[in-house]
Amino acid sequence: MPCKVSHLLVVFLLFSIQFSISQSITLKFDGQPFKFFQNIEQVHKGQTVAGLIEVKKFLIRFGYYPNPDHVNHLNNNFDDHLESALKAYQNFYHLKVTGSLDSDTIKRMMIPRCGVPDLTNFTSLNQSRNSNIGLLYAYPNGKPKWHKFNLSYSFLPNVPNTPDVKAAFAEAFVSWKIVSQFNFHRAAAGEAANLVIGFYTGAHGDGFPFDGPGKILAHSFYPPDGRSHYDATENWSTHPAKDQMDYESVALHEIGHLLGLAHSQDPNAVMYPTIAPGAIKRDLALDDVKGIQALYPL
Ligand X SMILES: *[C@@H]1O[C@H](CO)[C@@H](O)[C@H](O)[C@H]1NC(C)=O
* 114 belongs to an annotated ligand binding site: yes
The piece of 71-79, 119-127, 154-162, 170-178 that touches ligand X (CB under 6 A) is 119-127
Report the site for ligand X in 141-160 (rule: CB under 6 A). Answer: 141, 150
In this structure, which long-range contacts are made by residues 76-83, counting pairs with CB atoms below 8 Å and at least 24 apart in sequence? 76/48, 76/49, 76/50, 76/51, 76/52, 77/47, 77/48, 77/52, 78/43, 78/44, 78/45, 78/46, 78/47, 78/48, 78/49, 78/52, 79/45, 80/45, 82/45, 82/52, 82/55, 82/56, 83/44, 83/45
Beta carbon nearer to Zn ion, 178 or 203: 203
Shortest distance in whole angstroms from residue 116 CB to Zn ion: 4
The DSSP element (H or E) to which 56 belongs, if any, is helix 52-61
Q: Which does 58 bind (CB under 5 to 8 A by kind): ligand X, Zn ion, none?
A: none
The mark string for 196-235 relative to ligand X (x by CB under 6 A, - otherwise) is: ---------------------------------------x
Residue 229 binding Zn ion, by CB under 5 A: yes
Q: Is 124 one of the binding residues for ligand X (CB under 6 A)?
A: yes
Of 54, 171, 191, 254, the active-site residue reads: 254
Does 123 sit near ligand X (CB under 6 A)? yes
With binding defined as CB under 6 A, does residue 6 bind ligand X?
Answer: no
User: Under a CB-based contact definition with an 8 Å cutoff, are residues 252 and 169 in contact?
Assistant: no
Does 279 engage in binding with ligand X (CB under 6 A)? no
d(CA 95, CA 106): 11
Is 76 one of the binding residues for ligand X (CB under 6 A)?
A: no
Closest separation between CB of residue 222 and ligand X, Å? 12
> Which does residue 141 touch among Zn ion, ligand X, none (CB within 5 to 8 A, set by kind)?
ligand X
C-alpha separations of 231 from 127, 223, 249 in Å: 32, 21, 14
Distance CA 40, CA 35 (A): 10
Binds ligand X (CB under 6 A): choice among 212, 243, 268, 286: 243
Shortest separation between residue 121's beta carbon and ligand X, angstroms: 4
Answer whether 261's CB lies under 8 Å from 137's CB. Answer: yes
- Using alpha carbons, list the distances in angstroms from residue 129 to 13, 119, 252, 253: 44, 10, 21, 18
From candidates 244, 282, 293, 296, binder to ligand X by CB under 6 A: 244
41 catalytic, yes or no?
no
Whether 211 has a binding-site annotation, put simply, is yes
207 is in an annotated binding site: no
| Cα–Cα distance, 291 to 137 (Å, whole number) | 6
Number of C-alpha atoms within 13 angstroms, CB side, residue 153? Answer: 25
271 carries a ligand binding annotation: yes
First vs last C-alpha separation in the chain = 62
Report d(CA 248, CA 178) in Å as an integer. 16
* Residue 119 near Zn ion by CB under 5 A: no
Element of type H or E holding 186:
strand 183-186
Number of residue whose CB is nearest Zn ion: 114
Binding site feature residues for Ca(2+): 211-212, 231, 234
Please give the residue ranges that form the binding site for ligand X (CB under 6 A): 121-126, 141, 150, 183, 185, 235, 241, 243-244
Binding site feature residues for Zn(2+): 114, 204, 206, 219, 229, 253, 257, 263, 271
Catalytic residue annotation: 254
Please give the residue ranges that form the binding site for Zn ion (CB under 5 A): 114, 116, 206, 208, 229
